[in-house]
Amino acid sequence: MPDFRSIFNTLRLDPSLLLEAPVTRHSHAVLFALVLGFGLAAPAFAQTDDDAALRPLEPDFTVVNLPTTLPLPMGAGNFHLTHRFVGVNWRQDDFSTIASNAFGFDGPAVIQLEYRIAVMKHLEAIVARTNFDRTIQFSAKYDAFHEGESHPFGLSGIVSVEGQNNFHRTNTSGADIGYTPALGVVLSRTLGGIAAVYLDPIWVHNTQPIGVGDKLNTFYVGLGGRLRIATSTFVVGEVSPRASGYRPGDAEFAVALEKRVGGHVFSLVVANTQATTYGQLARGANPQTLYIGFNLARKFY
């Protein structure tokens, strides 16, 4: 048995310091674990450059609201529908109110319709409209490379521009608010055969368009994950903390139970915001708020 005290003395360390030293727990532990996962976990499924190949741990083009690196084959399309039922606040309303409103499902909803098409290999053109401020978002995603033997992670680039009031410079009150462009990247990594993680740094311009002379910007880092609990069933979660710039309210977060059936993906969602576009996510979520909703997607390939 080695003499550990002599080893510590040789290194001029007092072993009692190790017992007395306080342990500091940092809020960055989750981010560190995610980054560590990108570097250490080995992919369980061989990824190819075939955009039509099944990726068992990446069934959809979004986590909940954040983008993923899932590719779309050239000429193929994908329809995506989101509902956030805002008539019931699960964090503030009592159970009687929630139950009498069918747990929120018979109340008003914020709805987004999205369609994307692959205009060339690895390049998607996307248009979406939500009735939240009647916002229209035009975006593109380029899948630079997929995770595989030559790349330890997948990487996609994002560019978008959105405008309220059906893509006008003025809002419904007539105020000149301009447009909100965004730039970002998506990094993905599979962890064994059960999970996928995402890191989405996104910069958004003009996130505070009213009441200031200079338009304000926001930089946020979306963190997402998908855990497979059955062959085609997943628990999904994401959070979008703002790292710098304009950051009102709370950071957006959402969790979901997700099921893939053939070309369909259905997610039962709980989120603290009705936001779905990059600009809306940058502006944050409503404090002390929790909405129920769903996502529904259909691949056409």
CATH number at residue 84: 2.40.160
Domain count within the chain: 1
Domain range enclosing 278: 56-114+188-300
3-state DSSP assignment of residue 189: strand
pLDDT at 36: 44
Strand ranges (E), 209-248: 216-230, 233-240, 242-245
pLDDT at 212: 65
- Asked whether residue 51 is domain-assigned, the answer is no
- Asked whether residue 152 is domain-assigned, the answer is no
- Asked whether residue 28 is domain-assigned, the answer is no
- Asked whether residue 10 is domain-assigned, the answer is no
- Asked whether residue 174 is domain-assigned, the answer is no
pLDDT at 92: 87
Task: Name the nearest CA neighbour of 265 among 291, 300, 223.
Answer: 300
The answer to whether 192 and 44 have CB atoms below 8 angstroms apart is yes
Contacts of 231 (CB under 8 A, 6+ apart): none
pLDDT at 38: 53
**Tokens read off for 62:** 């979004």
- Asked whether residue 250 is domain-assigned, the answer is yes
- Asked whether residue 173 is domain-assigned, the answer is no
- Asked whether residue 222 is domain-assigned, the answer is yes
Q: What is the pLDDT along the chain (301 residues), one digit of tens a residue?
A: 445 444 334 434 443 433 333 333 334 444 444 444 454 444 555 566 789 889 999 999 999 999 999 999 999 999 999 999 998 888 888 888 888 888 888 889 999 999 999 999 999 999 999 999 999 999 999 999 999 888 999 999 999 999 999 999 988 888 888 999 999 999 999 998 999 999 999 999 999 877 666 779 999 999 999 999 999 999 999 999 999 999 999 999 999 999 999 999 999 999 999 999 999 999 999 999 999 999 999 999 9
pLDDT at 214: 72
Residue 287 CB burial class (10 angstroms; 0-12, 13-18, ≥19): exposed
